[in-house]
């Protein structure tokens, strides 16, 4: 086997999930963000969550900015697909109020110190 054949075997071209270019992936992300943004007033009203629309929009922005450094188009497409599934579940009210409120859990939870706090959080 020559080195050219070895390189061809080693470098396999992968098919894109949805997007062909970075610009196409970016437009999909922006359209998903806009769809979530438009649905926030209805989600707040339908689920009767104790958060304002401004708080929900801030959390939406935070969750999208969390993945801003992802550059692989395939990973971006998978994240967009998952976001679309989450949106569809929220819009069709397939989720419960608790599922929506998990978006608002603090990203860094402090470690519990006393016995009851450890017990309630499930830590040993």
Q: What is the pLDDT of residues 58-111, one digit of tens each?
A: 999 999 999 999 999 999 999 999 999 999 999 999 999 999 999 988 766 667
Burial label for 39, CB within 10 Å (0-12, 13-18, 19+), is: middle
- Taking the model in full, what pTM does it have? 0.75
| Domain interval for residue 102 | 16-108
The average pLDDT across 104-120 equals: 78
**1 occurs within a structural domain:** no
How many degrees, rounded to 5, is the angle at CA 83 between CA 20 and CA 49?
160
**24 occurs within a structural domain:** yes
Q: Give the list of residues 6+ apart from residue 46 with CB closer than 8 angstroms, or none.
A: 93
**32 occurs within a structural domain:** yes
| Structural domain total, the chain | 1
Structure tokens, 109: 């939870």
**84 occurs within a structural domain:** yes
């Amino acid at each position: 086997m020559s080195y050219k054949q070895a390189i061809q075997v080693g470098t396999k071209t992968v098919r894109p999930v949805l997007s062909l270019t970075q610009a196409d992936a970016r437009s999909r992300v922006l359209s998903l963000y806009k769809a979530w943004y438009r649905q926030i007033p209805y989600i707040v009203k339908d689920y009767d969550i104790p958060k304002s629309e401004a708080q929900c929009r801030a959390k939406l922005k935070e969750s999208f900015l969390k993945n801003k450094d992802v550059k692989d188009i395939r990973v971006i497409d998978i994240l967009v697909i998952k976001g679309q599934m989450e949106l569809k579940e929220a819009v069709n009210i397939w989720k419960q109020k608790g599922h929506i409120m998990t978006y608002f859990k603090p990203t860094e939870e402090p470690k519990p110190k006393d016995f009851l706090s450890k017990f309630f959080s499930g830590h040993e």
